[in-house]
A and B are shown apart, each in its own frame.
Chain A
Amino acid sequence: MPTPPKHFKDEIQDLLDNRLDAPARAEVERHLETCDECRREFEALQWTRQVAIKRFAQVETPAELREKISLALRSGEDRPEARIVRPRFRMPKLAAALGVAAILLIAIGLVVVFTAKPHNPLEIAARDFRDYKAQKLPLELKTDDGKQMETFFATHGVWFRTRVFDLGMMNYRLIGGRIQRVDDEPRAVFVYQGPADQILVCQMYAGTVAALPAGAVERENKEIRFYIYKKRGLTMVFWQEGTVVCVLTSDIGAEQVLQLAFAKAMKI
């Protein structure tokens, strides 16, 4: 009985998206010359792609939208940091100068207040871990179900997708979580308990590991770079998953925290 011919599937898409190396590309192209079924598939997908590109030409942005956003950005309501505004003067009047000086003083005051908040991701992670252990950070949802925890985050203002790990294989059980807000941005915080009541706190937030302070010990595992900090008896391990930063914090041994991170980190 003859062997049925081999057809390509994923490879056809890869060819279309130029994701094949030269030998694989040559092999698929050779196959397309002789296989009607695969050739038709390639033609159909290529045509669909071209129609999509051609017919979704950019719609013109409403002119007022740009203006509206620009105004909102400059209104100060959503500023990421206190700005020192140096306005232009049409007339160098003393009153105007005094007014600006007053504005400057207020702005400088705002900068001082603003920078006094804990912005350092290490300090935030450490503070939350200590607060939880001191029972100052109550869990908003107590559950050992990771999916339920993820749904809670998604329905309570965490706009990025969270991934609540199952650490059961390492004898760490999810006990619940809560949402923290830093600069009005949500952080998903969830807590695990180990076999001897050890506590492990995981946080996820939208950001980049590029914003982490210097001084990390860096390790790589499964093509993921981990940033390890030790601070006053705590170990914090950070890594990036897509546009989200994950951090595990605990006072158990550093190597153990790292192994837990290695086990659950995912390259996105």
Chain B
Amino acid sequence: MASFMPIGDVPREETAAARFEAVAMPFMGVLYNKALHLARSPEDASDLVQETYLRAFRTFSSFREGTNCKAWLFTILYSIFINKYRKQQREPGTVSIEELEEVFHRTLADSNWETNFAALSRHEWQGTEVKQALARLPEDFRSAVLLVDVEGFTYEEAAAGLNCPVGTLRSRLFRARRALFIALHEYAEKSGIFRRPPA
């Protein structure tokens, strides 16, 4: 039979929601950040994060404590995004690896490489400039960069999060970094960063 403890002295009962919140809520910041990069609008990002948490809560019994909760939450967030939000967005055209390699290596082979690269490194890149470059990448590439480079996931964790084989993740990352570099380089060319004298 249930007994009631005196008022005010009752330790907080650890409900499922409280357990879940203790384990999962600390990742809300990184999850929101990722959602914003994927969904591109604060409203969609908030909805995406909320839906992720509610779905994660429903399947909380399948989560094994002590395993990577952040990767688990990302898996759910990404899946919701793929099924719900991505369809609403215009997908950028696929990038052929041959084309990417060709442009990338042509850039590296430029006779002004050393000067240009120094200018690139010197420039104080603003978040919006980089975000615009990242937004031009296909979503699969963008996610690979965000998970591995920004969130510090291992290839294995990111692959699990994106539900793809490790080899696929590796290949996406390979292309994504090249494509991002090209986009930033093009931005620098257009905006005259290469022409500015060193400060």
Contacts and interface: CB of A to CB of B under 8 A. Distances in A.
A, B: real partners: yes
Interface string B169-199: 0100110011011001000000000000000
B2 A104 contact: yes
**Size class of the contact patch on chain B:** 35 or more
A151 interface: no
Interface stretch (A62-70, A142-150, A215-223): A62-70
A61 B184 contact: no
Given A65-B50, A72-B50, A89 B57 contact: no
Contact of A62 (B46, B62, B105, B170): B46
User: Of A48, A89, A101, which is in contact with the most chain B CB atoms at under 10 Å from its CB?
Assistant: A48
B184 A56 contact: no
A61 B60 CA distance: 23
B184 A10 contact: no
Contact of B25 (A52, A66, A206): A66
Interface in A26-49: 37, 40-41, 43-45, 47-49
Contacts of B25: 66, 69-70
Most B C-beta atoms less than 10 A away, residue of A57, A72, A104: A72
Given A55-B130, A90-B7, A207-B62, A159 B28 contact: no
Given A53-B149, A78-B58, A242-B163, A210 B113 contact: no
Interface residues of A, number: 69
Given A85-B15, A160-B79, A243-B163, A10 B174 contact: yes
A121 B127 CA distance: 47
A44 B163 contact: no
A268 B160 contact: yes
B61 A79 contact: no
List 7 A-B pairs, minimum CB-CB distance, nearest first.
A207-B62, A55-B130, A159-B79, A161-B163, A61-B32, A40-B108, A86-B13
A58 interface: yes
Among A72, A80, A157, A266, residue most surrounded by chain B Cβ atoms (within 10 Å): A80
Given A69-B50, A161-B163, A268-B159, 6 more contacts: A19-B155, A44-B181, A58-B30, A70-B25, A159-B80, A184-B58
B49 A83 contact: no
10 contacts: A47-B120, A51-B125, A58-B30, A61-B49, A62-B42, A69-B49, A73-B54, A78-B57, A80-B60, A92-B7
Contacts of B63: 208
B104 to A, nearest CB: 8
Given A61-B29, A78-B57, A83 B180 contact: no
A17 to B, nearest CB: 7
A37 B13 CA distance: 62
A80 B50 contact: no
B159 A80 contact: no
Nearest to A205: B62
Contacts of B72: 243
A183 interface: yes
A244 B62 CA distance: 11
